[in-house]
A = this chain, B = another copy of it.
């Protein structure tokens, strides 16, 4: 008998299948490759490069010409998919993979992607980054109609829709499914003949096409191409399906032409700085944001200090624009794991110190400009400001490299409910007092669009998905009509 500790504690919450649900959807990264002798090893490397998009779990499905193989594991790609035995089991020349965001609370292995279903015409595996805004509505209809759902993931409805399509070819069934769903999605899918990539009609979530020695691949970001030395070919377009097979790359439009409207948060926070998203360097955008921020909100100060690592490029831009020296006044501990037991006495601000520590030598007696990428709840900012003062900072001028976040996301970024967003409930002075800085400034929305290289935000048809700053959601939010306020917050989680 096998004694391998296979856990799989599974809790079926009947309510959760309907409208509620603790961990319905989270943020993710995806990768796929077609026709390479080391397909699974390359997917593992690609996922490793995309690890910043999700650390909770990872999965790979491969196809060896006859059989699909699947391995899905909690934890990091480097821990679960780096050994020869695992990769060896994932036989075949085509494979797709997925990394999933770390959320608190229950992970269940059945939700780890790629998901797989046996359709009448053959197997279909799907990995999804994004979030559907009508998944609960569709799921309700599917269950009414006799479908058995096995995960709590919104991605599963895509499989059911494809299974129930009456079209003969799997690619047609897949398109039927896409035309029924609403929201944000980048998808990679694997059949017994093809690798498929798809991006939602607005191109909210990113997806790029790459090539290595004649083999094509799909990835959430270009950094996943770079790690294996692959060539960036192009971004998948909004509303486009690419079908990669022995015949090469075929492009299909499944949605009416409309301007692209990618998520601006990829540039501000989410993508890796060395990635090029929709043709723009993330690092360059972040530095440009720093320059804009410096022009809008200069501070009299001695040093510019980033909150590492995401605040570094904007802080560099800020320092270069102002001429104030850039210093690593906060050191990041790279070994942050689980939450430690809190001593009952004497230790203050432990949470923030697990991840960041003040570099006294760089800040004691100085007036500092502290640059962070964004301000969400503000609870960490309070602690960082206090840590700076305890380390001897004479003044702390806080600069945020994005506009105030006033609305939750429903497209794949895990944001808190609206009432917990500091900028939704406080004005600027209120926020300054809350976090305890000597001054506080955010980047303006026009400044953000200038940093993106635009002259201005086209209000009729914005160039980017920016609802977190503006409240202008780019798609319908069907599930909101059947979900309670608490459930609305849940919708902000994503695949």
Measuring CB to CB, which residues of chain A are less than 8 angstroms from any residue of chain B? 1-15, 17, 36-38, 41-42, 44-45, 48-49, 51-52, 55-56, 61, 66-79, 81-84, 87, 89, 102, 107, 109-110, 116-120, 122-123, 143-144, 146-150, 156, 159-160, 163-165, 192, 212-213, 223, 226-229, 272-274, 276, 281-284, 309, 312-313, 316, 320, 325-328, 331, 333-350, 353-354, 357-362
Contact = CB atoms under 8 A, between A and B. Distances in A.
A387 to B, nearest CB: 9
A160 B142 CA distance: 12
Nearest to A56: B1
18 contacts: A8-B71, A9-B70, A13-B67, A13-B68, A15-B66, A38-B345, A38-B346, A41-B341, A48-B333, A77-B337, A119-B148, A146-B164, A147-B148, A148-B150, A226-B357, A274-B358, A281-B361, A313-B328
Contacts of A11: 67-70, 89
B117 A1 contact: no
Contact of A4 (B61, B74, B117, B143): B74
Contact of A42 (B13, B274, B343): B343
Copies of this chain, whole number:
4
Contacts of A83: 338, 341
A339 B51 contact: no
Contact of A8 (B8, B77, B283, B350): B8
Contact of A328 (B3, B312, B325): B312
Contacts of A61: 12
A203 B94 CA distance: 48
A346 B212 contact: yes
Nearest to A308: B309
Most buried by B among A7, A56, A79, A165: A7
Most buried by B among A44, A148, A283, A339: A148
A333 B163 contact: no
Contacts of A117: 148-149
Contacts of A213: 345-346
Contacts of A1: 55-56, 74-76, 102, 337-338
A120 B143 contact: yes
A76 B358 contact: no
A362 B283 contact: yes
Given A38-B343, A350-B45, A357-B226, A6 B74 contact: yes
Contact of A159 (B17, B36, B148, B346): B148
Most buried by B among A117, A144, A164, A348: A117
Nearest to A70: B10
A74 B3 contact: yes
Nearest to A88: B341
Given A119-B143, A357-B227, A78 B312 contact: no
A81 B51 CA distance: 24
A89 B325 CA distance: 48
B5 A328 contact: no
B76 A37 contact: no
Contacts of A110: 110
A76 B316 CA distance: 32
